[in-house]
Amino acid sequence: MSPKSGQDAQVIATFSRRMNLRLDDGREVSARIKGKRLQPVCGDRVVAEPIENESDWLITDIHPRRAELTRPDSRGNREVLAANVSLLVVTVADPPRPDWFVVDRYLAAAAIMGVRAVIVFNKADLEPTQPGATAVLDDYARSGYTVLCTSAKTGSGLDELCDVLKDEVGIVVGQSGVGKSTLINRLVDEGVLRTAVVSPSSGEGRHTTVNSVMLDLPGGGTVIDSPGVRDYAPALESPDQVAAGFREIANAGLRCRFANCRHLREPGCAVKGAVESGLISARRYESYKRLLHLTEKLGKNRY
Ligand SMILES: Nc1nc2c(ncn2[C@@H]2O[C@H](COP(=O)(O)OP(=O)(O)OP(=O)(O)O)[C@@H](O)[C@H]2O)c(=O)[nH]1
Ligand SMILES: [Mg+2]
Ligand SMILES: [Zn+2]
């Protein structure tokens, strides 16, 4: 048998089934994937080998993942969006009109993945069009989340964002148009981004749709730019996981009469009590219920 020529590498950009890799010796190469069943994503640690007489490499294996950001695909199956991230930077702005349920679901995803999340309210230079954003952000802060207000236009809040990303592998997520790419552009050396986002496909050298791209920050840390979403939900194993995604609900839930309380209509529910007394925001509770019902519905499709 010929000696194994595989090398360890990290996926630093994905273009559908083509990827950019950074080999552990520092070289950056483009790669294809061996077989349909192998589904590497940005952030994955992989094994790759050179293809004879080609500049492309071939990804032959994926190392076990530490954390997976997931969503259900159209059939309710679990789709992995990024791997080995340590921080979710959940970005929101106004405009586009904030969808706080999307924010809640990313926060829930982070908690269930076991990674940290921060909330970034971008476009702080603009006059908000929707009332109430400040109150919602205050609610998050009261629940213990770090909330940063930034402007990719004026640069305000960017030092704080750099600090948060230092020593982390962060992924910037959120609705389309909130300014994820613009923010990241300001954080990285411009030349870095330009080379990283050029698609390796077909030699045209044009910028094409990028699923995700991972970039090193000059001040330390790494950040993944991800495509914006209209809606988002984490792919969960069971509805029982949902409460763990809402930290104030999980905390209050420790005092419910029944250990398996779903915080809907059960007697002696401490969560309902906390909502009624205003300790837990009615909006967050509504968000919890929506994700619970969605997870139940998706579960039914699957089994
Ligand atoms: N005024 C203002 N405009 C901003 C700011 N950040 C981004 N924008 C603008 O918002 C628009 C969308 O920015 P993008 O960075 O493309 O948004 P995105 O979140 O990456 O969007 P997707 O890639 O579609 O998910 C652009 O026109 C930016 O110039 C900001 O802080 N202030
Ligand atoms: Mg973008
Ligand atoms: Zn309860």
**Closest atom of ligand 1 to CA, residue 150:** 31
Q: Answer whether residue 11 is part of any domain.
A: yes
| pLDDT on residue 190 | 65
Q: Answer whether residue 75 is part of any domain.
A: yes
62 Cα to the center of ligand 1, angstroms: 33
Cβ partners under 8 Å of residue 169, min gap 6: 43, 84, 85, 86, 87, 214, 221, 222, 223, 224
Ligand 1 pocket residue status of 153, Cβ below 6 Å: yes
If asked whether residues 56 and 72 sit together in one domain, one would say no
If asked whether residues 209 and 105 sit together in one domain, one would say yes
If asked whether residues 52 and 90 sit together in one domain, one would say no
| pLDDT on residue 198 | 47
If asked whether residues 206 and 99 sit together in one domain, one would say yes
Nearest Cα residue to 124 out of 78, 170, 157: 157
Question: At 242, which amino acid appears?
Answer: V
The residues with which 70 forms a beta bridge, in sequence order, are 80
**62, 84, 104 — which closes off a domain?**
62
Ligand 1 pocket residue status of 155, Cβ below 6 Å: no
Give CA–CA dist 288/101, Å, rounded.
Answer: 9
If asked whether residues 105 and 144 sit together in one domain, one would say yes
Give CA–CA dist 149/214, Å, rounded.
Answer: 23
| pLDDT on residue 124 | 97
Helices (H), the chain: 100-113, 133-142, 158-165, 180-187, 190-196, 247-253, 270-276, 282-302
If asked whether residues 74 and 217 sit together in one domain, one would say yes
| pLDDT on residue 205 | 38
Domain count, the chain: 3
Give the orientation angle of helix 100-113 with respect to helix 282-302, to 10 degrees: 70
User: How long is the chain?
Assistant: 303
Ligand 1 pocket residue status of 226, Cβ below 6 Å: no
Q: What is the pLDDT along the chain (303 residues), one digit of tens a residue?
A: 444 579 999 999 998 889 999 999 999 999 999 999 999 999 999 999 999 999 999 999 999 999 999 999 888 889 999 999 999 999 999 999 999 999 999 999 999 999 999 999 999 999 988 889 999 999 999 999 999 999 999 999 999 999 999 999 999 999 999 999 999 999 996 655 554 454 444 444 333 335 799 999 999 999 999 999 999 999 999 999 999 999 999 999 999 999 999 999 999 999 999 999 999 999 999 999 999 999 999 887 664
N-terminal to C-terminal alpha carbon distance within the chain: 44
Q: Answer whether residue 233 is part of any domain.
A: no
The angle formed by the CA atoms of residues 5, 6 and 7, to the nearest 5 degrees, is: 120
Q: Answer whether residue 293 is part of any domain.
A: yes
224 Cα to the center of ligand 2, angstroms: 11
**Closest atom of ligand 1 to CA, residue 184:** 15
225 Cα to the center of ligand 2, angstroms: 7
Report how far Cα 231 is from the mean position of its chain's Cα atoms: 13
Ligand 1 pocket residue status of 154, Cβ below 6 Å: no
| pLDDT on residue 298 | 85
**Closest atom of ligand 1 to CA, residue 227:** 25
Q: Answer whether residue 231 is part of any domain.
A: no
Give CA–CA dist 160/63, Å, rounded.
Answer: 33
**198, 225, 252 — which closes off a domain?**
225
CA diameter of the chain: 70
Q: Answer whether residue 172 is part of any domain.
A: yes
If asked whether residues 195 and 79 sit together in one domain, one would say yes
| pLDDT on residue 210 | 54
| pLDDT on residue 130 | 86
- Whether omega for the bond prior to residue 218 falls within 30 degrees of 0, making it cis, is no
If asked whether residues 140 and 277 sit together in one domain, one would say no
Ligand 1 pocket residue status of 125, Cβ below 6 Å: yes
The preferred substitution site among 182, 226, 230 for testing ligand 1, maximizing ligand atoms within 8 Å of CB, is 182
Cβ partners under 8 Å of residue 225, min gap 6: 172, 180, 181, 184, 210, 212, 213, 215
Give CA–CA dist 253/285, Å, rounded.
Answer: 12
Give CA–CA dist 263/285, Å, rounded.
Answer: 9
Give CA–CA dist 57/197, Å, rounded.
Answer: 18
If asked whether residues 54 and 81 sit together in one domain, one would say no
CATH number of the domain where residue 266 is located: 1.10.40.50
293 Cα to the center of ligand 3, angstroms: 16
If asked whether residues 57 and 74 sit together in one domain, one would say no
Give CA–CA dist 209/198, Å, rounded.
Answer: 9
| pLDDT on residue 1 | 40
Q: Are 207 and 198 in contact (CB under 8 A)?
A: yes
Instruction: Quote the DSSP letter at residue 244.
Output: G
Nearest Cα residue to 21 out of 35, 3, 33: 33
| pLDDT on residue 4 | 59
If asked whether residues 75 and 53 sit together in one domain, one would say no
CATH number of the domain where residue 124 is located: 3.40.50.300
Provide the domain limits for residue 83: 68-225
Evaluated on CA atoms 269, 270, 274, 279, the torsion sign reads: negative
If asked whether residues 118 and 255 sit together in one domain, one would say no
Ligand 1 pocket residue status of 228, Cβ below 6 Å: yes
Q: Answer whether residue 2 is part of any domain.
A: no
Q: Are 217 and 226 in contact (CB under 8 A)?
A: no
Ligand 1 pocket residue status of 152, Cβ below 6 Å: yes
